[in-house]
């Protein structure tokens, strides 16, 4: 008896829904035609991001650390200070070398003046060959000595400037490798730095796909962030040798990260287009409706929405390959307004342009 009452109640609710749908005003929707396009086979692999450029910043001089200007994890521009070294010893050496260079400059000027006078006397046959050769040699030696001391002075000026260790590029500081009071030698690392404007992604291509992927192929990158816009990368390298542990071929993908959306060490999904192509029915990605585990599109039958369950595969720009029972080329499908309709609901078509949304992959094959 209770089962009969439950069945009657369900039937009443269904009839009530149908009646409500018939009384509803039609929902305005935008439609497109189903096309047939050529697609590339696609696979989606899980990869890990890595900074394209990392560096251990080293000291160019030997001195004691007097201050640390940056903290770990700071964003620095090229040329900003990282570490300050004591300048006392180098400044004194620079001062002494400057004095030596000035003395040599005066001496070279004097000897050059004497040599010019000797040349004048020699031209008048009033000086011997030995004497003029000696004057010329002394002038050359004096000038070379001045040039030597001047170069040493300039090198010490560079050493003095290098007591402020600066960021060699714009990026993020990593591990601090020294501390105030420590003595650093020339070539000692003081900070790690990472540049994130370019990111590379390391992927493992299963051996069955080797030879089906080319360098220069565009790759669509997806992060774990919800509703994030996919990024585009380029395959820059495919290793010719498989790894002995996994029998996969390392693939390198380069990504422009000037907006800073990726960090080093992140897990991402990368969709790659292979060389092999196939023909398939295609709809706009906006036509796809997902409800739980079900994927469907809506068509229009006698002014009412009708759903067709579909399976999706490769993408091509804003189009996606689909298969479904009863789906045919030229069939009308809803691409806007489909989030407000359900099977049997009345609809009215509009001639407005279809929406443009970011690419979204629907086929995943996590071969990692």
pLDDT digits (tens, 9 = 90+) for 62-88: 999 999 999 999 999 999 999 999 999
Give tens-digit pLDDT for 128-158: 999 999 999 999 999 999 999 999 999 999 9
According to DSSP, the residues that pair with 195 across neighbouring strands are: 53
Residue 129: half-sphere exposure toward Cβ, Cα within 13 Å: 0
The DSSP string of 78-123 is: TT-EEEEE--HHHHHHHHHHHHHHHHHHHHHHHHHHHHHHHHHHHH
Domain assignments of the chain as residue spans, ordered by start: 44-53+195-276, 87-162
* 310/225: higher pLDDT: 310
Quick one: which of 27, 26, 4, 23 has its CA closest to 15? 23
Range 44-53+195-276 classified under CATH 2.40.30.170: yes
Two structure tokens written together for 200: 């590379």
Share of the chain above pLDDT 90, in %: 69
Percent of the chain with pLDDT over 70: 88
- Residue whose token pair is 């030597």: 148
DSSP letter at 277 equals: E
pLDDT tens digits, 231-250: 999 999 999 999 988 899 99
Span 88-123, pLDDT tens digits: 999 999 999 999 999 999 999 999 999 999 999 989
Instruction: Give the CA diameter of the chain.
Output: 144
- pLDDT at position 20 is 53
Whether the pLDDT of residue 257 is over 90: the answer is yes
Q: Which H helix or E strand runs over 5?
A: helix 2-23
- pLDDT higher at 350 or 48: 48
Question: What sign for the dihedral angle of Cα 66, 70, 73, 76?
Answer: negative
């Amino acid at each position: 008896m209770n089962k009969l009452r439950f069945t009657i109640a369900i039937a009443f609710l269904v009839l009530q829904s149908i009646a409500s749908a018939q009384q509803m005003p039609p929902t305005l929707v935008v439609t497109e035609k189903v096309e047939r396009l050529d697609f590339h086979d696609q696979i989606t692999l899980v990869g890990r991001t890595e900074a394209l450029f990392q560096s251990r910043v080293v000291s160019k001089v030997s001195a004691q650390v007097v201050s640390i200007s940056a903290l770990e994890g700071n964003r620095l521009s090229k040329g900003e200070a990282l570490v300050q070294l004591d300048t006392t010893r180098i400044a004194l050496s620079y001062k002494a070398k400057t004095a030596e260079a000035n003395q040599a400059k005066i001496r070279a000027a004097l000897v050059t003046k004497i040599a010019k006078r000797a040349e004048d006397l020699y031209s008048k046959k009033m000086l011997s060959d030995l004497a003029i050769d000696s004057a010329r040699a002394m002038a050359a030696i004096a000038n070379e000595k001045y040039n030597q001391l001047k170069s040493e002075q300039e090198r010490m000026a560079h050493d003095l400037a290098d007591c402020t260790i600066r960021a060699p590029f714009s990026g993020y500081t990593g591990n601090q490798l020294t501390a105030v009071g420590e003595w650093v030698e020339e070539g000692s690392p003081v900070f790690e730095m990472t540049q994130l404007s370019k990111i590379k992604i390391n992927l493992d291509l299963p051996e069955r796909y080797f030879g089906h992927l080319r360098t220069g192929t565009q790759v669509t990158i997806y992060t774990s962030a919800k509703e994030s816009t996919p990024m585009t990368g380029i395959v820059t390298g495919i290793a010719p040798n498989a790894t002995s542990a996994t029998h996969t071929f390392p693939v390198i993908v380069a990504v422009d990260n000037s907006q800073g959306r990726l960090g080093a060490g992140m897990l991402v999904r990368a969709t790659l287009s292979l060389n092999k192509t196939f023909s398939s029915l295609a709809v706009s990605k906006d036509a796809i409706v997902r409800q739980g585990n079900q994927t469907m599109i809506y068509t229009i039958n006698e002014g009412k929405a009708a759903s067709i369950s579909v399976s999706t595969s490769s993408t091509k720009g804003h189009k996606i390959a689909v298969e479904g029972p009863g789906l045919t080329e030229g069939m009308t499908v809803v691409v806007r307004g489909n989030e407000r309709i359900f099977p049997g609901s009345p609809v009215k078509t509009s001639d407005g342009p279809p929406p443009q949304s970011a690419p979204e992959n629907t086929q995943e094959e996590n071969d990692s």
